[in-house]
Amino acid sequence: MSRAFLGLPRSRRDAHPDADVAGEPFGPVPHPDAPLRWGPTFPDAARTALDNAQLRRNLGHATSTIRAKRAAVVGEVPDWEGLRDAGATLKERVMATLPELLDELERNVTERGGVVHWARDAAEANRIVSAVATAKGVDEVVKVKSMATQEIGLNEALAADGIAAVETDLAELIVQLADDMPSHILVPAIHRNRSEIRDIFLARMGDAPRDLSDVPRELAMAARAHLRRKFLSAKVAVSGANFAVADTGTLAVVESEGNGRMCLTLPETLVTVMGIEKLVPSFDDLEVFLQLLPRSSTGERMNPYTSLWTGVTPGDGPQEFHLVLLDNGRTDVLADEVGRSALHCIRCSACLNVCPVYERVGGHAYGSVYPGPIGAILTPQLTASSGGLSGHHDPNASLPYASTLCGACYEVCPVKIDIPAILVDLRAREVDADRAHRGVDPWAAAMKAASWVMSDGDRFALAGRAATLGRAVAGRDGVIASAPPPASAWTRSRDLPAPPARTFRQWWATEHGGGAP
């Protein structure tokens, strides 16, 4: 389905919009009911994605560009490691005192004229937002790009209540118009190139110029004109939050396009949905994160727009402010000693851009609005209560294995989340959950047998001598080019060397005496 569209010949770029592009199934992913669990397991989804040459070119180009930008602006900060330490320490403090800080935030937001709501899960959060919009009598709200509202499927929930949610971030708008899913935390349309975006605008935007080209400036101007009309008519805006300051009740949104500033200032009513982990203790702490975030995410020294607001200011900006504090599995994550540091994440997406796995398969393969390395540790934990860590019966259980543990993610993480260590820990939780299941698991059987062989020098020596007999199956060129399962997964694209005539320990016994071990 996606390939039919992505393979459009270039001549179609000049076709009349209504004639042939409209109605194309743009989204490689039909909009899912569960934003944290859709599609097949990671290995299956990855296999499909790897066959998409256009996707791989788009991703390879985009991730290498962002990687280079980040490396350059991080390299010029002399105390970068100190900043990372400060960010990590602050987040540890937040997690250690989260209940107290949340109470403090609620108190301060309320004192300044805001209304604080607590949402246990996605359904509760969606009901709260919908109720606010309904009370205002609107059938359309404008939105600032937000991962929390992606996570709870807010747009779909509002649509079910007859309210249209309009995404105003350019990339998020592209994804929404295509009825697609985001494939990146920061650049959700990273899997699209500009000619695909042109086709999406022509088919779905309604007011796009008919002679629209794929020149980036023209595309941006078309979106700008489309969105300006929305900003000026909207009565209610919905946002997420990058940070919330407990000791002042201040909310912060950082962005690049100014669409956020429009949403946060023009409408009469603002609803902010925020994961409970997004707190910082005091206003001064923003100093650390406002340095770490833009350099790690967009590769900019400072993001173009930083909006801070505290409750309601009479005569200035929205006169009604609602803050929805979202749990949705976070307290479960917090309860785990190792996994909890996944909550430190400030959604910069540096880990996605450096991940060699993400770069090849893209975000949709992760089957969650949180893709890449951070998604691989966050998604299964957030969905743990519904089976996300229950062994290989749940598609999310394959996510902790979607990594070579190369460590590139940990190296760039601005708050020093040891993603490889958490991946390994989650794998252990999967394996332990699986032990309770009946039936023979070939992996478990192999690991048990290997454990027996590899925990004793004599047994291992015997196994090594047996392995040298494997020389018999190698060809004259010294390699094993095909093998039965599970080794066939290896030999499909790689040779195996023939075992040597003597193991090392046999050589040692002969050359260095002491007899055969």
Instruction: Find the shortest distance in angstroms from Cβ 182 to other proteins.
Output: 21
* Beta carbon nearer to other proteins, 216 or 486: 486
Question: What is the C-alpha to C-alpha distance for residues 145 and 150, in angstroms, rounded to an integer?
Answer: 9
Instruction: Find the shortest distance in angstroms from Cβ 416 to other proteins.
Output: 13
Q: Which of 119, 35, 94, 95 is nearest to 327 (CA)?
A: 119
Instruction: Find the shortest distance in angstroms from Cβ 329 to other proteins.
Output: 21
* Beta carbon nearer to other proteins, 58 or 250: 58
Residue 123 parent element (H or E): helix 122-135
Question: What is the C-alpha to C-alpha distance for residues 172 and 369, in angstroms, rounded to an integer?
Answer: 12
Question: What is the C-alpha to C-alpha distance for residues 19 and 210, in angstroms, rounded to an integer?
Answer: 11
Instruction: Find the shortest distance in angstroms from Cβ 145 to other proteins.
Output: 28
In Å, what is the CA distance from 295 to each residue of 12, 104, 292, 302? 38, 30, 6, 7
Question: What is the C-alpha to C-alpha distance for residues 429 and 158, in angstroms, rounded to an integer?
Answer: 36
Using a 10 angstrom Cβ sphere, with 0-12 exposed, 13-18 middle and 19 or more buried, the burial of residue 209 is middle
Instruction: Find the shortest distance in angstroms from Cβ 438 to other proteins.
Output: 18
Task: Answer whether 260's CB lies under 8 Å from 252's CB.
Answer: no
Q: To which residue do tokens 């400030």 refer?
A: 346
* Beta carbon nearer to other proteins, 296 or 310: 296
DSSP 447-476: HHHHHHHTT-HHHHHHHHHHHHGGGGGS-T
Instruction: Find the shortest distance in angstroms from Cβ 494 to other proteins.
Output: 3
Beta strand segments in 181-246, E: 236-239, 243-245
Pairing of strands 320-326, 279-280: unpaired
* Beta carbon nearer to other proteins, 325 or 352: 352
Instruction: Find the shortest distance in angstroms from Cβ 384 to other proteins.
Output: 15
Q: Which of 203, 43, 151 is nearest to 382 (CA)?
A: 151
* Beta carbon nearer to other proteins, 238 or 377: 377
Residue 309, phi then psi, degrees to nearest 5: -145, 150
* Beta carbon nearer to other proteins, 320 or 434: 434
* Beta carbon nearer to other proteins, 11 or 493: 493
Instruction: Find the shortest distance in angstroms from Cβ 29 to other proteins.
Output: 18
Question: What is the C-alpha to C-alpha distance for residues 439 and 451, in angstroms, rounded to an integer?
Answer: 20
* Beta carbon nearer to other proteins, 99 or 356: 356
Instruction: Find the shortest distance in angstroms from Cβ 375 to other proteins.
Output: 15
Using a 10 angstrom Cβ sphere, with 0-12 exposed, 13-18 middle and 19 or more buried, the burial of residue 424 is middle
* Beta carbon nearer to other proteins, 287 or 411: 411
Instruction: Find the shortest distance in angstroms from Cβ 386 to other proteins.
Output: 20
* Beta carbon nearer to other proteins, 44 or 268: 44
Instruction: Find the shortest distance in angstroms from Cβ 264 to other proteins.
Output: 39
* Beta carbon nearer to other proteins, 69 or 471: 471
Question: What is the C-alpha to C-alpha distance for residues 61 and 82, in angstroms, rounded to an integer?
Answer: 31
CA atoms within 13 A on the CB side of 21: 27
* Beta carbon nearer to other proteins, 275 or 400: 400
Using a 10 angstrom Cβ sphere, with 0-12 exposed, 13-18 middle and 19 or more buried, the burial of residue 134 is middle
Number of other CB atoms surrounding residue 409 within 10 Å: 28
Using a 10 angstrom Cβ sphere, with 0-12 exposed, 13-18 middle and 19 or more buried, the burial of residue 213 is middle
Q: To which residue do tokens 């996944």 refer?
A: 342
Instruction: Find the shortest distance in angstroms from Cβ 66 to other proteins.
Output: 15
Using a 10 angstrom Cβ sphere, with 0-12 exposed, 13-18 middle and 19 or more buried, the burial of residue 20 is middle
Instruction: Find the shortest distance in angstroms from Cβ 411 to other proteins.
Output: 6
* Beta carbon nearer to other proteins, 82 or 475: 475
The DSSP letter of residue 139 is S
